[in-house]
Amino acid sequence: MGREIRIDSDVEDAAVFIQDYLTIVPNLTITPGLRYGRWTGWLRPADTANARFLAARHQAFDPRIGLVWDVSGRNDFVLKAHWGWYHQSMSSLFFDRAEGGDAYTNERLYYQGPDITDSRTVFTAAERDARLSHVTGFSTRFVEIILNEAGKVENYRQPYVEQAVLSVEKKFGSRWKAEVSLTSRVNKDIVGLVDRNILENYSPIRNVAVRDGVFQGTIHDHNGRPLVLPVVWVSNRDLRNELIRRLGPPLMRPVAGYTFADINTLTFNPDIALTTVAGARRRMQQLSASFRTEQTRFSWFGSMSLTNLEGNVAGLTGFGTSGPDFTAGPGVRRNERENFDGRLPDTPAFDAKTWISGKLPWGFTGGAFVAFSMGEHFAPSFRIAPTFGLYDSNGSVLGDEATVGVVGQTILLEERGSRKLPSRTNVDLRLERRLDLRLFDAVFSGDLFNAFGSDAIVQRNLTVNDFTTIDPTSIFGAPRRRVSPIRLQIGLRIEH
């Protein structure tokens, strides 16, 4: 139960800018500019009517400058350069985890619940608590997955991108044009949650074996071997409780790597703030080339790009996207810092596109669009869940006390982006015919998408699972989504 998200926010963006065009020498134009912006976000808590409060505000200048050099003086050989800062528009995503917003709620997994005849049945928290029972209601024993991390806003700065672009444009005759560009983008002032005591609040348990929590069966990793996690970080509070549990009775061996004397030294003091994340990194470099022509009977366009997107932040914020959940991120979730630096998803290292259209016999026009992609990068992951049994290197099971604070956290099992989806090619076709009906023109069109029936995989299951289900899509690497199947679309457009 739980996992509800309620965001009641307002945002304000305001900006003014000045820009000029300077031609100091013939054929060379310089475009300096300066933009001032202010960004504001408000939140209204779920349990307080009309108690809107200011969550975040920042203001800054964006300097920008561009140069255009018409080398030939005839606009058929042009060099361009541009550099500038570009602040992101304000979004609730940047401040929804501000302390007091109460946007996120935790999720509870009860080991027993009441009989439910309608899958649409919903229980409020009050109704749930009123039905606590060992026999007919919700059990008093449950696992709570922490999803509501929040922090006080300190030194908030609006995220921005520093971008530099160099490009060359060249015409060949009157009908052909080529362009090559090099782009560099660096995300800065990435905002997120940060536990400033995270290094002191968590301790490692190394070489943790994972088994099925019910039947004690073997859990296999992404390579088909028994799953052993190199390290699981647990909160010092939970580790201390686990050591106390093992004191007994009956007396058990302490957690591997620790002694019972550590009970008196382990401390847990979270200090969570919503602020600029130190060490957050996201950088993209791209080299692209395009060619185009406009001929009497046909037109053609083609492009290709080489892209390197890397860092430890997949999106515009420091929140987590390395597993199946959108979480508070590695700034407060120690396990999500493992292997989090590398190639980022959703951008292939190489892609190419081409489009050709032209006149066909009998008054038809047609076109074809072909796209090739090398496939996006990904890495296998493991999500700590109560359905698993975790064992330390001594072979002793880690009780619920040891992991209660990190249930639901995701661990990347390899460096981010270490694997890649298969390359794929897709072809779309279009045919069009115009008919003159005196009072108006009727344009009939047909589009055939995925004309050659590609079934390339575009999404896989990235989470190592418990194999207790016969559903083949639950196995690591199993296809979750493929290229959309062949589809024919017929259209009619009326023009007067």
**Residue 120: how many other CB atoms lie within 10 Å:** 5
Query: Is 185 buried (19+), middle (13-18) or exposed (0-12) by CB count in 10 A?
Result: middle
pLDDT of residue 48: 66
The DSSP bridge partners found for residue 120 are none
Instruction: Identify whether the C-beta of residue 189 lies closer than 8 Å to the C-beta of residue 197.
Output: no
> Which of helix, strand or coil describes residue 275?
strand
Q: What is the pLDDT along the chain (496 residues), one digit of tens a residue?
A: 667 888 889 999 999 999 999 998 889 999 999 999 999 999 998 776 668 899 999 999 999 999 999 998 888 999 999 999 999 999 999 999 999 998 888 888 877 778 888 878 888 778 777 777 766 777 777 788 888 899 999 999 999 999 999 999 999 988 999 999 999 999 999 999 999 999 999 999 999 999 987 777 888 888 888 999 999 999 999 999 999 999 988 999 999 999 999 999 999 999 999 999 999 999 999 999 999 999 999 999 999 999 999 999 888 788 876 666 678 899 999 999 999 999 998 889 999 999 999 999 999 999 999 999 998 899 999 999 888 889 999 999 998 889 999 998 999 999 999 999 889 999 999 999 999 887 888 999 999 999 999 999 888 888 887 544 556 667 888 888 899 999 999 999 998 7
List pLDDT tens digits, range 261-314: 999 999 999 999 999 999 999 999 999 999 999 999 999 999 999 999 999 988
Tokens for 423, please give them. 């390359």
pLDDT of residue 476: 84
Helices first, then strands: H and E counts in the chain: 4, 29
> Which of helix, strand or coil describes residue 300?
strand
Distance CA 114, CA 138 (A): 6
Map out the domains of the chain as residue ranges: 1-101+154-178, 107-145
pLDDT of residue 322: 66
pLDDT of residue 477: 83
> Which of helix, strand or coil describes residue 126?
helix
DSSP string, 416-456: TT-EEPPPEEEEEEEEEEEEE-SSSEEEEEEEEESTT----
pLDDT of residue 423: 93
Tokens for 387, please give them. 């359905």
Integer-rounded Cα Rg, in Å, for the chain is 29
* Dihedrals phi, psi of 400, to nearest 5 degrees: -55, -30
pLDDT of residue 43: 94
pLDDT of residue 5: 84
> Which of helix, strand or coil describes residue 247?
coil
Instruction: Identify whether the C-beta of residue 137 lies closer than 8 Å to the C-beta of residue 114.
Output: yes
Residue 456 CA, chain-centre distance (Å), reads 22
Q: Give residue for tokens 């500019």.
A: 33
CA distances from 170 to 68, 75, 295, 304 (A): 13, 9, 17, 17
DSSP secondary structure code for residue 98 in this structure: B
Distance CA 254, CA 396 (A): 9
pLDDT of residue 466: 52
Instruction: Identify whether the C-beta of residue 128 lies closer than 8 Å to the C-beta of residue 142.
Output: no
DSSP string, 24-49: EETTEEEEEEEEEEEEEEEE--TTST
Distance CA 231, CA 229 (A): 5
